[in-house]
Amino acid sequence: MLRLRPILNAGRLQRGYASAAGPHALVLLEHRAGVIESGSLSALTAAQQLGGQVTGLVVGAPDEVKGVVEKAKKLKGLNTVLHSASEQYAHTIPEVVSPLLEKLLSDSSPYTHVVSAHSSAAKSILPRVAARLDLPAVSDITSLEHDGSATTFTRPIYAGNAIATVRAPESVRVKFFTVRSTAFKASAADEGAQAEDKAVEPVEVANPPTRHVRTDLTKSDRPDLGSASRVVSGGRALKNAETFKSTLEPLADVLGAAIGASRAAVDAGYADNSLQVGQTGKVVAPELYMAIGISGAIQHLAGMKDSKMIVAINKDPEAPIFQVADVGLVADLYEAVPELVEKLKQQA
């Protein structure tokens, strides 16, 4: 083992000279029901800021991949779209997808960065692949700067109460990072763009240790919480699932907003856990965030304090949420919210 090391390092150095051509990012393009996830579009924007080539990667079941590739090719900023289709890739199980990524990122690969959204799927896959290649990873970045060989990132730590600036030095052959989507604009489609597409043979995994049983997604006609421009969020003060619904839905309707929830509301069963906003839930940064009956614990603020305008309605004038709210109303939400809905409707 010890003897091998110098040889491996020598290989690394040589490649360093050979690939001085500039950064080349591989962006994981996640998709659901034929649509590229907005988080991946933000990751693409982050990848472009590296200032080099950008290759997208679409992995999935054969019946999905073709349509997604067509859409991906029209994305601004993508030079190449790689795609790999296999029945095995239908649910992006990390144990099954990792070998494909490991192959793409082998010693002779041109990629200097691997970029993805900070989504639940990518969070599961990227660190696994990075470790197998003996590389570190950087999670949930909010900005980046590339200077030719090293990349410097900023990322929130301690639930967003501090910002760390970290540098992945030249010695890190491939820099893995996930992107906080609210910190980067989604890359748009451009009719003029036409990236080249290349198929990649899937790497079949015989007898994988993990099998997908099923996925239950919460169905909703509302905008997606992670990318909505307006969010109406409820906390423990909403009492139960019925009042949570009956109070917040009319307001969300009249504002065209997504619905979110505090951990307290989710734990108490008022709302589905996919609606949780905070350090352990979704991070949102909409134009408008309305916190209804939410006290504003550190962990909740971590998920929404980058919103452009924060409005709080709370009975308790001492609630910490008022320290970050642009507009605070100390009132009983059961009176204030229906009145707000009525008056907004009159304006519509």
Partner 1 sequence: MRPSAVRLLNILVPVKRTVDYAVKIRVNPDQKGVDLNVKHSMNPFDEIAVEEAVRLREKLKDEVKSIKVVTIGPPKAAETLRTALAIGADSGIHIEIPESAPAPEPLGVAKALRAIIEREKDGVDLVIMGKQAIDDDAGQTGQMLAGLMDWAQATFASKLVVDPKSKEAEVTREVDGGLQELKCRLPLVVTTDLRLNEPRYASLPNIMKAKKKPIQKITPADLGVDLKPILETIKVTEPPKRVGGGKVENVDQLIAKLKEAGITPVKS
Q: Is 137 or 237 the residue whose CB approaches partner 1 more closely?
A: 137
Minimal distance, residue 209 CB to partner 1, in Å: 4
277 is in an annotated binding site: yes
Residue 126 backbone dihedrals phi, psi, to 5 degrees: -55, -50
Q: What DSSP assignment string belongs to 301-343?
A: HTTTTT-SEEEEEES-TT-THHHH-SEEEES-HHHHHHHHHHH
- Do strands 175-179 and 196-199 pair parallel, antiparallel, or not at all (unpaired)? unpaired
- According to the annotation, is 86 in a ligand binding site? no
Compare residues 56 and 156 and give the one whose CB is closer to partner 1. Answer: 156
In angstroms, what is the minimal distance from the CB of 187 to partner 1? 19
On whether 262 is known to bind a ligand per the annotation, the reply is yes
CB of 246 to partner 1, least distance (A): 17
Of 199 and 327, nearer to partner 1 (C-beta) is: 327
**Residue (of 231, 225, 237) closest to 295 by Cα position:** 237
Min dist. Cβ of residue 71 to partner 1 (A): 19
Kind plus residue range of the DSSP H or E element containing 117: strand 113-117
122 assigned ligand-binding residue: no
Residue 191 or residue 211: which is nearer to partner 1 going by CB? 211
Give which of 57, 56, 105 is closest to 78, Cα–Cα.
56
Residue 34 labelled as part of a binding site: no
Shortest Cβ 80–partner 1 spacing (Å): 26
In the complex with partner 1, the residue whose CB is nearer, 53 or 276, is 276
| Beta carbons within 10 angstroms of residue 144's beta carbon | 23
Task: Answer yes or no: are the C-beta atoms of 260 and 284 closer than 8 Å.
Answer: yes
298 is in an annotated binding site: yes
Q: Measured from the CB atom, is 133 or 189 closer to partner 1?
A: 133
120 assigned to a ligand binding site: no
Closest residue by Cα to residue 239 from 264, 259, 274: 264
Residue 60 CB contacts under 8 Å (≥ 6 apart), including other chains? 31, 68, 85, 89, 90, 92
Q: How far is the CB of 241 from partner 1 (least distance, A)?
A: 16
User: Residues forming the annotated binding site for FAD?
Assistant: 236, 262-263, 276-280, 293-300, 314
